[in-house]
């Protein structure tokens, strides 16, 4: 996505070849004679970096961009860019080019013949073509989960190694994040752990940029205290496109370089002078004797011959007069530029915070996209969970081909969906639909893998199915109430867990059995809400809810035996109980006592009952409110839109008191149902008997269309928070946010609401340090959040806006489904405790992220009721996470597993080292052959990323026991000798 379209639609003609050109060394060339750039001695090297920025979907779908279709939206195609660039690089060994998006390059590569592929390999080996970033896409940094970032980067980087790897292969060392709309500290740390030495980006809050420009601090070192990493960071000059007037592509309006003095179009003197002025200004704001000149832009180099020809002329003229103008231009790459800077500059300033929010004007805060397209954001998160389970099952399969499908399609769809115009919600509607289509196709393939794999492990004699719409109380396989149900529940965590499983049912006439313990299973039946029936007219009328104890990285099985013909088969359905208006409605569990208003069902107070906290209570209330979207005003014409959040007023409008429609107590859980005025918002609050969280399930929509509305759920507490709250960075470290304050620069607050919104990927926290209590709200998708008052936090859950915000999409954010506005449903989990127990939010967060996978059959019998991957000799820590468990290509009769292990608890939250024995972690899939440690993206040896001796100093190599330091992620390939007839596990 771009702020301005650079490559437009006018074709200009370069002078004919037979007209006389001037001598570039002629004495009468008018060159600058002023003093050289202040603060710089000697000649400044200008690193000219030809590049194209190819969005993996935005205004057009991935396929439309690649093939060049839909010219009415945008002219040109990525395949032609790569064609013409390769042709020019082959012709001239002095030229260089960088390419970024592997999603496009991989497709192009697969269409090439052997000769062309060899030419490209030669260009890569010779340093003319350099892959930068190397991920499948250029991912967003606000709305992505760290596991998805790792996966998409690994997908691209490993593919590059497979095609170009060899003794002379140099993997990408630059994180090229030139277009995302703000930058996270977690992404910087992850980049360093992948082996990236530099991070280059273009978008920064305009006030921060102006300060850094003035102080010559546009280059610094970005540190992560929690992850113990650092990366050289470069803030680009004037975004990432060519200087104004110097875009030479077919779709640009800029004039060519005309050197023929006899032509009325002669302009080379003025063009050279304009460029020298530009370079002089840029160089005056950087410290080293090197500056980087990006020559390119969105989908540029459709005609590389034209672009390079004009660029050559410009460079030749400036280089011919280096002594006078003080500049020497060379074809270069970001990695070459970084090396030159680090050799010529002293100590760099350090930075530890992040770069949110981004604003490009006083009333233009890019904080709306933190929430835009909430259904897509939720779907991406759900598909991430499906993908991890899919890879687990593939790793355990006897032979991959027996599964009838693979994870590849979903891996690639997830790679595309992390793009900074995909999960961000900032594409055109038809493109968002295409992202969802890709995910759905990949999910279908992975469902085949999961059901086939679990069927084999459970020795189930019938057909198993997954139910995608469990959150809408619909499942095709359970519709037939005449059949008994076999239910397999898989746990993707490496620790045992207890979950409450909800199965859509047509009636309550079942007997429940735990097939693992061979004991009766208590099932509570509850009717489906009116809101759910409105969400899905096919929703089944009941849900059966039961408590499931699940093994680590494995499954447990249950059975609902239908008993229609006997009276004993009829089970009571939980009823709504009348409440007394004269006193609070109090719901108690083993952990919490929660007070609700008896008329509205609104939460009023939470008490934590655990030892040491008995009687520790705080007011906690929740309301839905809305901001009316600005359509522009006299102060600024900027409206709210897909990117921009600009409320009409400085405070939200209350959406009225809800009505308590149902109070439904049960033995294992209690539900409070609310409906809000006008009927388009409803909510269910669930208190489970033994859970450390209170579940708040919200349903919002269809939002009325009378004006732009941005809906928030606000929690008010009695906690004293000193105008501070904390948000996660891509699900990793927590970042302190102080109202109206930035940690490294003086902020002139011009948008007090939108400017204080931050991205929340998994959680936000309020802390009362004097009282020693905290409230963490965990989210099931990325959302925008703010703390605008003491002890207060609000989450934007849905948006429907009637104007475009002038950032290129050219359509309003007005999502519809089934002829009406989109309905979004999601969950918040509230975790309230003393600060000594605060670390538990990490464990709870893993439970929310790794939702249990449920597969159901109605026509067979189970032979193996329980099974698990994890075979460790000692139980795993609740803070150990298996980020990746994936079978990868290996030699014949060998099984190789790619395994990423994470210690999820940082030192600041009491994290301690975790030891893991690798050779017995997953049982004996064969004879142990050893392991290799790789960088985080699994494309290079760990020695190329860190100091290996220091990195492994706490490992016990004699027993293959490795140690994960607090908050550390380590990546391994585990090798086992197998044969064709053995099961992998």
Residues with catalytic function = 179
Q: Are 646 and 365 a contacting pair, CB within 8 Å?
A: yes
Through-space distance between the first and last CA atoms of the chain, rounded to whole angstroms: 46
Query: For residue 602, with 0-12 CB atoms within 10 Å meaning exposed, 13-18 middle and 19 or more buried, which class applies?
Result: buried
Distance between CA 888 and CA 896 in Å, rounded?
Answer: 6
Distance between CA 731 and CA 783 in Å, rounded?
Answer: 12
Distance between CA 369 and CA 142 in Å, rounded?
Answer: 9
Q: Are 277 and 326 a contacting pair, CB within 8 Å?
A: no
Distance between CA 786 and CA 347 in Å, rounded?
Answer: 36
Q: Which two tokens stand for residue 596?
A: 């609700």
414 C-beta neighbours (distance < 10 Å), count: 27
Give pairs for 529-533: CB < 8 Å, separation 24+.
529/662, 529/673, 529/682, 529/684, 530/675, 530/682, 531/675, 531/682, 531/699, 532/472, 532/473, 532/699
- Compute the residue count for the chain: 985
Please choose, from the candidates 411, 467, 421, the residue with its C-alpha nearest in 3D space to the C-alpha of residue 441: 411
Distance between CA 285 and CA 273 in Å, rounded?
Answer: 19
Query: For residue 922, with 0-12 CB atoms within 10 Å meaning exposed, 13-18 middle and 19 or more buried, which class applies?
Result: buried
Distance between CA 464 and CA 488 in Å, rounded?
Answer: 9
Distance between CA 432 and CA 372 in Å, rounded?
Answer: 11
Q: Are 592 and 573 a contacting pair, CB within 8 Å?
A: no
Please choose, from the candidates 705, 648, 655, the residue with its C-alpha nearest in 3D space to the C-alpha of residue 678: 655
Tell whether omega for the bond before 357 is within 30 degrees of 0, i.e. cis: yes
Contacts of 939 (CB under 8 A, 6+ apart): 134, 154, 157, 158, 160, 161, 171, 194, 195
Distance between CA 676 and CA 531 in Å, rounded?
Answer: 11
Kindly state the DSSP code that residue 933 receives in the 8-state scheme: E
Q: Are 961 and 955 a contacting pair, CB within 8 Å?
A: yes
Query: Read out DSSP for 350-419?
Result: EE-S-B-S-BSSTT-B--STTTSSHHHHHHHHHHHHHHHHHHHHHHH-S-GGGGSS-SHHHHHHHHHHTB
Distance between CA 201 and CA 633 in Å, rounded?
Answer: 32
Q: Are 652 and 643 a contacting pair, CB within 8 Å?
A: no
Return the residue matching tokens 């208006």.
Answer: 581
Distance between CA 509 and CA 564 in Å, rounded?
Answer: 6
Contacts of 88 (CB under 8 A, 6+ apart): 95, 304, 305, 308
Element (H, E) at 672: strand 669-675
Q: Which two tokens stand for residue 93?
A: 């060994």
367 C-beta neighbours (distance < 10 Å), count: 29
Angle value at C-alpha 410, between 404 and 412, nearest 5 degrees = 120
Which residue stretches of 244-285 are H helix? 268-283
Distance between CA 605 and CA 167 in Å, rounded?
Answer: 64
SS3 at position 249: coil
């Amino acid at each position: 996505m771009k702020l301005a379209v650079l490559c437009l639609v006018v074709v200009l003609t370069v002078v004919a070849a037979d007209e006389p050109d001037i001598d570039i060394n002629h004495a009468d060339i008018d060159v600058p004679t002023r003093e050289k750039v202040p603060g710089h001695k000697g000649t400044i090297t200008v690193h000219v970096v030809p590049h194209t920025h190819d969005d993996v979907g935005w205004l057009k779908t991935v396929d439309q961009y690649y093939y060049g279709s839909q010219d009415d939206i945008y002219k040109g195609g990525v395949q032609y860019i790569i064609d013409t660039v390769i042709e020019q690089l082959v012709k001239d060994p002095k030229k260089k080019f960088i390419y970024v998006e592997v999603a496009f390059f991989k497709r192009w590569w697969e269409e090439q013949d052997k000769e062309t592929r060899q030419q490209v390999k030669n260009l890569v080996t010779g340093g003319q073509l350099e892959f930068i970033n190397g991920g499948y896409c250029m991912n967003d940094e606000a709305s992505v989960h760290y596991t998805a970032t790792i996966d998409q980067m690994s997908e691209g980087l490993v593919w590059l190694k497979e095609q170009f790897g060899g003794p002379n292969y140099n993997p990408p060392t630059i994180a090229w994040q030139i277009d995302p709309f703000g930058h996270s500290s977690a992404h910087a740390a992850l980049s360093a752990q992948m082996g990236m030495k530099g991070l280059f980006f273009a978008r920064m809050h305009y006030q921060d940029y102006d300060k850094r420009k003035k102080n010559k601090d546009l280059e610094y070192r970005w540190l992560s205290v929690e992850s113990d990493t650092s990366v050289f960071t470069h803030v680009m000059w004037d975004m990432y496109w060519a200087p104004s007037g110097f875009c030479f592509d077919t779709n640009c309006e800029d004039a060519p370089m005309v050197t023929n003095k006899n032509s009325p179009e002669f302009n080379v003197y003025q063009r050279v002078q304009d460029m020298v002025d530009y370079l002089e200004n840029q160089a005056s704001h950087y410290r080293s004797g090197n500056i980087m000149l990006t020559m390119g832009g969105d989908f540029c180099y459709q005609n590389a011959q034209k672009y390079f020809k004009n660029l050559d002329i410009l460079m030749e003229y400036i280089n011919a007069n280096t002594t006078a103008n003080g500049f020497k231009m060379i074809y270069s790459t970001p990695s070459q530029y970084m090396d030159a800077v680090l050799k010529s500059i002293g100590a760099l300033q350090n930075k530890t915070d992040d770069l949110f929010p981004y604003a490009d004007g006083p009333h233009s805060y890019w904080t709306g996209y933190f929430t835009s397209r909430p259904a897509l954001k939720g779907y991406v998160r759900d598909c991430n969970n499906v993908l991890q389970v899919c890879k687990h099952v593939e790793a355990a399969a006897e032979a991959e081909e027996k599964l009838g499908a693979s994870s590849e399609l979903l891996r690639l769809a997830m790679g595309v969906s992390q793009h900074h115009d995909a999960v961000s919600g900032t594409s055109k509607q038809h493109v968002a639909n295409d992202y969802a289509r890709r995910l759905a196709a990949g999910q279908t393939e992975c469902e085949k893998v999961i059901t086939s794999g679990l069927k084999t492990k459970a020795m189930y004699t019938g057909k198993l199915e997954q139910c995608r719409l469990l959150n809408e109380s619909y499942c095709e396989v359970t519709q037939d109430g005449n059949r008994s149900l076999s239910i397999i529940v898989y746990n993707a965590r490496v620790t045992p867990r207890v979950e409450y499983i909800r199965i859509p049912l047509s009636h309550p006439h079942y007997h429940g059995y735990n097939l693992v313990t061979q004991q009766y299973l208590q099932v509570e039946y509850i009717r489906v809400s009116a809101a759910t029936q409105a969400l899905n007219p096919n929703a089944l009328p009941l849900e059966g809810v039961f408590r499931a104890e699940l093994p680590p990285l494995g499954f447990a099985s249950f059975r609902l035996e239908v008993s229609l013909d006997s009276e004993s088969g009829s089970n009571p359905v939980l009823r709504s109980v009348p409440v007394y208006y004269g006193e609070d409605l109090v719901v108690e569990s083993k952990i919490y006592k929660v007070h609700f208003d008896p008329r509205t069902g609104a939460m009023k107070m939470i008490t934590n009952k655990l030892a040491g906290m008995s009687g520790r209570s705080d007011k906690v209330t929740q309301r839905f409110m809305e901001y009316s979207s600005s359509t522009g005003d006299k102060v600024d014409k900027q409206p709210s839109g897909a990117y921009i959040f600009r409320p009409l007023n400085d405070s939200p409008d209350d959406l009225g008191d809800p009505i308590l429609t149902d109070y439904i107590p049960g033995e294992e859980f209690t539900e409070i149902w609310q409906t809000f005025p006008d009927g388009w918002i409803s909510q269910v609050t669930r208190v489970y008997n033994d859970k450390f969280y209170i579940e708040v399930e919200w349903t919002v929509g269809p939002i009325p269309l009378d004006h732009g509305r941005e809906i928030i759920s606000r929690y008010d507490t009695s906690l004293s928070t000193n105008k501070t709250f904390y948000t996660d960075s891509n699900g990793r470290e927590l970042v302190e946010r102080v109202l109206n304050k930035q940690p490294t620069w003086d902020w002139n607050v011009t948008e007090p609401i939108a400017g204080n919104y931050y991205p929340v990927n998994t959680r936000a926290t309020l802390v009362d340090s004097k009282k020693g209590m905290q409230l963490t709200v965990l989210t099931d998708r990325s959302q925008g959040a703010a703390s605008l008052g003491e002890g207060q936090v609000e989450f934007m859950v849905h948006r429907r806006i009637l104007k475009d915000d002038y950032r290129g999409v050219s359509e309003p954010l007005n999502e519809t489904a089934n002829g009406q506005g989109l309905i979004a449903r999601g969950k918040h989990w509230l975790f309230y405790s003393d600060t000594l127990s605060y670390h538990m939010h990490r464990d709870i967060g893993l439970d929310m992220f790794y939702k249990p996978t449920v597969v159901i059959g109605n026509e067979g019998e189970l032979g193996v009721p329980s099974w698990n991957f994890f075979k460790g000799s000692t139980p795993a820590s609740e803070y150990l996470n298996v980020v990746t468990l994936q079978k990868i290509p290996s030699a014949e009769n060998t099984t190789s597993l790619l395994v990423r292990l994470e210690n999820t608890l940082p030192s600041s939250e009491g994290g301690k080292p975790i030891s893991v024995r690798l050779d017995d972690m997953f049982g004996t899939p064969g004879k142990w052959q050893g392991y290799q440690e790789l960088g985080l993206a699994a494309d290079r040896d760990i020695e190329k990323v860190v100091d290996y001796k220091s990195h492994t100093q706490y490992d016990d190599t004699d027993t293959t026991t490795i140690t994960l330091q607090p908050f550390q992620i380590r990546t391994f390939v585990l090798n086992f000798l197998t044969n064709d007839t053995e099961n992998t596990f």
